[in-house]
Chains A and B, each alone.
Chain A
Amino acid sequence: MHKKRIIPCLDIKDGRVVKGVNFVDLIDAGDPVESARKYNDLGADELVFLDITATKEKRKTLAELVEKVAAQVFIPLTVGGGIRTVEDMQLILRSGADKVSVNSAAVKNPELVKEGAQAFGSQCIVGAVDADKRDSGDGWEIFINGGSKETGIDLIEWVKDLEELGAGEILLTSINADGTKDGYDIEMLKAVTEAVNIPVIASGGAGKIKDFIDVFEETGADAALAASIFHFGEIAIKDVKKELEKAGIPVRIEE
């Protein structure tokens, strides 16, 4: 049976785990290697690292961090943040990541997704997308540069393009829902999961266990990502999984 995945996201800034509310007000939340090990023990199905301050100089630091985590934690790791070239992808994958995620760089240069998929396989390339409702209320558009810059590009068109270019997965963050703890953006996720055939990771808005049940019952999402509620121990991953299983949603629980 195919299992829905629960994925803690570790936003990395200067080598520490942080999580913002609406992308600002960053809070220091811990050491990445320790966090990763803890999440492995607590039953996380995968981990996502997003380096939110990645600059060219810092990419080497990120690679070293990935290498340290990968030597101790043996579950799939996705790493993103500042990845702009196939060489960047190679460095991060060689360091021990299983997948790389690309966001702004893919919007600016869609060929990056294609070249990455050709070089490393689609299963290695995650198309990360930040989106928000259009002011007109008609559909959604995507934002780049950490959710700060609107592009006018239609969300649905873009995720279809990503699939076509060779992305193996979509990591979809709703800017409106992110950090609110009011639940995932069901409407947006429904639209995206109906538009593509590749797995979609829901991101932004998780605040309580019911939010995870809702996102899997009401949308075609394959995985649900959350950060702050896990980092600060508000919700335990194993409790989320227990309730999901009770609701009839297949998850990885071991005895």
Chain B
Amino acid sequence: MIAIIDYGAGNLNSIQKALEFIGLETEILASAHKQEVEKYSGLVLPGVGSFPGAAERLKQDGFIEFIADFVATGKAFLGICLGMQLLFEWGYEELKTQGLGLLPGEVVKIESEYKIPHMGWNELEIINDDPLFKGLPARAHFYFVHSYQLKDVSDDVLAVVDYGTKIPAVVRKNNVIGLQFHPEKSGDNGIKLLENFGELL
């Protein structure tokens, strides 16, 4: 059973439907109960909304500790879009806000000659191969909608995309995984990647 964290932001249906499409059981989690860490084999933090708003809701709803406890068990934790951005130490959307701090790094506004938000399909450039990428075609594209990005291509970054500037697209440190794009909107590649995530559970 995979828990999808509901913190009042975003459309959870899409990610839930995509996970169910590949045969995984899901449950939407609206509040955190410590004992439930045991119950789930995987945890997903989706995200549409703003960094400060989401961070505040996670704190209010008791998810900060829940996530820390979950990650400590070694089970897979996946952050998507804003959910990936929240994995890092600091966000600079609207105001400087503390993130979950599971990975080192800062989230800043995209600086590019192209239009912001970065919205549409972009081609993944893999810099560190990983079982997550198993079975993807050459020139795999994924669907992005975001205005902020992880600032630096840190050691945890597995893949980037080029948008006039390098944007970290996939990060992973052990059981903590982040995707800047929306796998649930990236057609067959997104489904493949979620299946690979499913293999980690």
Chain A residues in the interface with B (C-beta under 8 A): 1-3, 5, 40, 45, 70-72, 74-76, 93-96, 98, 121-123, 168-169, 197-199, 222, 252-255
- In the complex, identify which listed stretch (B86-94, B98-106, B139-147) lies at the interface while the others stay far away: B139-147
- In the complex, identify which listed stretch (B28-36, B69-77, B182-190) lies at the interface while the others stay far away: B182-190
In the complex, the answer to whether B141 meets A254 with C-beta atoms within 8 Å is yes
Residues of chain A within 8 A of B143, CB atoms compared: 75-76
Dominant SS among interface residues on chain B: mixed
Shortest A76–chain B CB gap in Å is: 5
In the complex, the answer to whether B121 meets A252 with C-beta atoms within 8 Å is yes
In the complex, the answer to whether A98 meets B14 with C-beta atoms within 8 Å is yes
Number of interface residues of B (CB under 8 A): 35
In the complex, the answer to whether B21 meets A72 with C-beta atoms within 8 Å is yes
B18 within 8 A of A: yes
Shortest B142–chain A CB gap in Å is: 10
28 intermolecular pairs with C-beta atoms under 8 Å apart: A1-B163, A2-B114, A2-B163, A2-B164, A3-B123, A3-B141, A45-B120, A45-B121, A70-B13, A74-B14, A74-B18, A74-B21, A74-B187, A74-B188, A94-B11, A95-B13, A96-B11, A98-B11, A121-B48, A121-B49, A123-B119, A169-B119, A198-B115, A199-B115, A199-B119, A222-B115, A254-B138, A255-B139
Residues of chain A within 8 A of B118, CB atoms compared: 2
**In the complex, what distance in Å separates the CA atom of A98 from the CA atom of B119?**
12
* B 102-145 binary contact with A (CB < 8 Å = 1; else 0): 00000000000011011111110000000000000111110101
A40 touching B115 in the complex, CB below 8 Å, given contacts A72-B21, A74-B21: no
Chain B residues in the interface with A (C-beta under 8 A): 11, 13-14, 17-18, 21, 48-49, 114-115, 117-123, 137-141, 143, 145, 162-164, 184-191
**In the complex, what distance in Å separates the CA atom of A121 from the CA atom of B54?**
14
Dominant SS among interface residues on chain A: loop
